Amino acid sequence: MDFRDRPIIIISKCLGFEPCRYNGQMVRCPFIEKLAPYVHIEVVCPEVGIGLPTPRKPIRLVNSPEGIRVYEPSANNDYTYKMSDFIKEYINNITSVDGFILKSRSPSCGVKDVRIYEGKDKSASARAGKGIFASELSKKYKDIPIEDEGRLSNLRIREHFLTRLFTLHSFKKVMKEESLTELLKFHQKNKFLIKAYNQGEYRSLEAIIRVAVSNHSLFVEERLRNPLSEPKAIEAAEEYKKVAEMYSIHLKKAFSRMPRYTNYINVFLEIYKSFEKDISKEEREFILKTIEKFKTGRLPSLVPLNVLRAYVIKFNNKAMINQSIWEPYPEELMDLSDSGK
């Protein structure tokens, strides 16, 4: 896959870019350092954005009848309106973005496990929720990946984030091309990856493609009989737009959640059956044991994928060699480390 056209990622400024945390420090994130050459990075710090100094007194989120308040306990300051204005203006000025990596547990940026207190008192109980900035981003950008650096230390979450990021960004380029040929190429290249994520949505995408190809074939035959008039050209462009938008809806649904391991196993077996008769009994047993180890959680998906890929290359299976499932994101970002969290 060609990754030269890089996705745009918005990242919390304190994650290795500037010491702007409440304690005047920043957090080094090795994953972001590895990711940096393959994406365009923009940074943000909502607290600095509303004019708070660095270092500063901690702020917290407090529940109230009017909603979540942004509160500074030490000076009894309420920054809710300032933060709300900043978030609205910031989001309205985003022209293009493919993903977010935010600071974990931050009252503004945390995507999970942020403490939301039930009162202003020090002894007030707290529940887990989202930071106020992350919460608004989640409402506006439901279809793109939003994660924090802590969760990205988990292998499965990291793989899902990267796969979703680069696949959906790749599709954005297809949308700009306004070409059914390019859409067909994208679908063909990503078919095994989509199947591995969501087989129901894969079937929906297959149906969309079948109808599009059928209509396109009829249109081409008519065009060969008669010169293409301007109204017909406009009609064709509008028809393609409808197809691409419908495809986009189901593609985003397919990647909205982490894949079930059973989907991956089905795809592994489908690939395996393409060369099963051409290998020895010992090789068949080895491959099936490798898939079984993935099933029981003893191996990550990258291991059976690489084993299967070696055989696809060996037997020069041209229909499978260029599938995106082998490398859904840059190979240099493939990392088997896992925090276990």
Residue 60 bridge partners (DSSP): 71
- Is 35 in the same domain as 133? yes
The pLDDT score that the predictor gives to residue 224 is 45
The pLDDT score that the predictor gives to residue 336 is 81
Distance, in Å, from the CA atom of 160 to the CA atom of 166, rounded to the nearest integer, reads: 10
The pLDDT score that the predictor gives to residue 305 is 97
Residue 314 lies in a domain: yes
Domain finish residue from 254, 289, 320: 254
The pLDDT score that the predictor gives to residue 288 is 98
Distance, in Å, from the CA atom of 116 to the CA atom of 93, rounded to the nearest integer, reads: 28
- With a CB cutoff of 8 Å and minimum separation 6, the contacts of 141 are 97, 100
Q: What domain range is 244 assigned to?
A: 173-254
The pLDDT score that the predictor gives to residue 179 is 83
Residue 242 lies in a domain: yes
- Is 239 in the same domain as 314? no
| Residues 275-289 pLDDT 10s | 999 999 999 999 999
- Is 217 in the same domain as 323? no
Domain finish residue from 199, 219, 254: 254
- Is 24 in the same domain as 133? yes
In the numeric block, the tokens 């190979």 are attached to 331
Q: What are phi and psi of 304, to 5 degrees?
A: -60, -30
Residue 163 lies in a domain: no
The pLDDT score that the predictor gives to residue 218 is 47
Determine how β-strand 146-148 pairs with β-strand 60-64. Answer: unpaired
The pLDDT score that the predictor gives to residue 97 is 97
Total domains in the chain come to: 3
The pLDDT score that the predictor gives to residue 241 is 84
- Is 145 in the same domain as 24? yes
Domain finish residue from 120, 153, 186: 153
> Vertex 143, ends 334 and 187: CA angle to 5°?
65
- Is 145 in the same domain as 273? no
Residue 338 lies in a domain: no
| Residues 118-142 pLDDT 10s | 988 877 788 999 999 999 999 999 9
- Is 317 in the same domain as 290? yes
Furthest CA-CA distance within the chain: 80
- Is 244 in the same domain as 266? no
The pLDDT score that the predictor gives to residue 178 is 77
Which residues of the chain carry a pLDDT beneath 70?
A: 1-4, 216-237, 340-341
The DSSP 8-state label assigned to residue 152 in this structure reads G
Residue 168 lies in a domain: no
The pLDDT score that the predictor gives to residue 208 is 93
The pLDDT score that the predictor gives to residue 217 is 55
Average pLDDT, the chain: 91
Handedness of CA 61, 63, 69, 75 (dihedral sign): negative
Distance, in Å, from the CA atom of 236 to the CA atom of 249, rounded to the nearest integer, reads: 20
- Is 70 in the same domain as 100? yes
The pLDDT score that the predictor gives to residue 49 is 97
Q: What end-to-end distance do the CA atoms of the chain give, in Å? A: 30
- Is 187 in the same domain as 245? yes
